[in-house]
Structure 1
């Protein structure tokens, strides 16, 4: 082991671990490592201020990690993150209410309609090619339509 690691004061190791865990949260977000990083930083500050041994520091880290994780979980359950755009990644849902032109006649409840510069499969009442239909819902990648 290099001398600089063997001679490192424990509080610097805790502070470094905290920063490393926070950076790992940025690289691989999961909203978990940041709390462990916070526990490591607090442990580093306590180890810097108080002359305590490494076993006690490990105990402080373990207790802080459990408390912080439990507290964050409870806070997130009580204050859920609500999206300002709930249909952000649901393209079919975003098309509800749009009027489309049938490009392949809807026969036996199935056909295709023009959406932007492409075509989507549609399901609804029979309609001839060129008919205007309105999207009422989305079922996976299939748009459910009705006559306009």
Structure 2
């Protein structure tokens, strides 16, 4: 095991770049945006260590501090990206796309089966929908004001 440890110790700060690229490559195999941010964090730690070496600080941070820095940056990138991703909410041109009945609110339709005892049917386009509301004769025009599941709530137009 010591041969392997010595081998990787010889790479110094390049280990972080290798680890980061490995995690990013792993993201392509196991999709789901899990490893990408940890790979980015590893590359950032490698950049910080490279900057420290370029400024002549030698081994700027020992391995335990590098791991702490990696953990902190990983948490920051995960939560930062999560916050950014949630802020980019997608607005649909059709807000009622998955609520078919909501698309008909306010529309005036014709009662096809008279509404008695609070129940009847209305014709919307070429489809009959169950309706609830005050007693209304067949052929009367009513306005759709809401829905309870698939039952339209109507009132006289």
Q: After TM superposition, give the deviation of residue 82 of structure 1 in Å.
A: 5.4
Q: Which residue of 2 aligns with 1:119?
A: 128
> Which structure has the larger Rg over C-alpha atoms?
2
Post-superposition Cα deviations, 1:88-107, rounded to whole Å, max 9, x if no partner, equal 21111110011111111100
Alignment of 1:98-109 (within 5 A): 98-109=107-118
Contact persistence 2:37–2:77 (CA under 8 A):
yes
Give the whole-Å Cα distance in 2 for the aligned partners of 1:130 and 1:94: 22
Contact persistence 1:100–1:113 (CA under 8 A):
yes
Query: Which SS does the other structure have where 1:42 is aligned?
Result: helix
Contact persistence 2:26–2:35 (CA under 8 A):
yes
**Structure 1 residues without counterparts, runs of 5 or longer:** 1-8, 26-33
1:136 aligns to 2:145 (yes or no): yes
Post-superposition Cα deviations, 1:13-36, rounded to whole Å, max 9, x if no partner, equal 322112234xx33xxxxxxxx2x2
**Structure 2 residues without counterparts, runs of 5 or longer:** 1-17, 51-63
Q: Which residue of 2 aligns with 1:17?
A: 26
Give the whole-Å Cα distance in 2 for the aligned partners of 1:61 and 1:19: 21
Task: Identify the match of residue 89 of structure 2 among 71, 81, 89.
Answer: 81
Contact persistence 1:18–1:40 (CA under 8 A):
no
Task: Quote the RMSD (CA, aligned, Å).
Answer: 3.4
